[in-house]
Amino acid sequence: MKSNSRFEVATEAALRRALVSGVIASVVLAGIIGLILIFTVGVLLGLVVGVVLFVGASAGWMLYVQSAFGDAASSVLEGGGAAAGEDEYPSFRNALEGVAILTGVRVPALRVLDHGSANAMVAQGLEEDATVVVTTGLLENCRIVEAEVLAAELLCRVRDGSARYCTLAAGLPGPVRAAAGLDGGAVAALIGDQRAVLGDADAVSVTKYPPGLIAALERMAQQGTEVPTAVPDQAPLWIAPAVGVQRGVSEPVDRSVNQPLDYRIAVLREL
């Protein structure tokens, strides 16, 4: 992983925390059981059992953590539509390919979620390849200028590492997420209080055409952006409000990632 952004630094720190916390827990567990055996059975047996427990528990936890981090993206993408055929949605694919060159990231895989709302998200695990999920409502009648700026909105998140960080926060199982310190408060603190607006600014810095994003956001506002299959932990991954506080998103995260589309449009008009 790169370490040139606060998100990549935080991701690496989260992995280290998860691994170290398991080792510490293994030391405590092995120490307690070993001491009990030392005083009840004998010193030699207690020491041997303690060492075996420590090695086994530590190794098992490390394997579990590595597996969980590796599977986070797949977990997030469950229910995230189906892979688009190579000949489907050529305009959007071309936009992704063009913007990938401009942003210096790999061309992501494309999945399509059959729903009438207009929204999109990007997920990325520890691997370099990312996956973009777009609703059919957003793809239908999507003009080229809209496709380009939406692709920029998504791939800028891959470039700065926030896609990976937010994917891990959403896709890790509870015990690993807690050990890694990726709770809602940590996510909200790292993404800041203007996630959506700053994402718009990043996208426009790539396309150099604010009216394109304004048009896309206006159409999204008209069609609606809520995604029934989205879960609260995935809110930071979507480019528009897909799930809100009424469905369990924490208020700090909601304020940052679910900024009203009309507010975002107003900010863009000032650029």
- pLDDT at residue 34 greater than cutoff 80: no
- pLDDT at residue 3 greater than cutoff 70: no
Q: How far apart are CA 19 and CA 218, in angstroms?
A: 45
% of the chain with per-residue pLDDT over 70: 99
122, 228 in Cβ contact below 8 A?
A: no
- pLDDT at residue 112 greater than cutoff 80: yes
- pLDDT at residue 5 greater than cutoff 80: yes
Residue 4: per-residue pLDDT: 66
Q: How far apart are CA 209 and CA 119, in angstroms?
A: 20
210, 266 in Cβ contact below 8 A?
A: no
pTM: 0.89
| Average pLDDT, integer, range 26-50 | 78
Q: Label residue 261 by pLDDT band (50, 70, 90).
A: very high
What distance, in Å, lies between the first and last C-alpha atoms of the chain? 33
Amino acid at 15: L
Structure tokens at 95: 């936009």
Report strand pairing: 130-135 vs 120-124. Answer: antiparallel
Level-2 CATH architecture, domain 77-269: 2-Layer Sandwich (3.30)
Residue 2: per-residue pLDDT: 46
134, 112 in Cβ contact below 8 A?
A: yes
Structure tokens at 252: 């700090």
Average pLDDT score over the chain: 91
Q: How far apart are CA 99 and CA 119, in angstroms?
A: 18
Residue 184: per-residue pLDDT: 84
Which has the minimum average pLDDT: 235-239, 255-259, 266-270?
A: 255-259
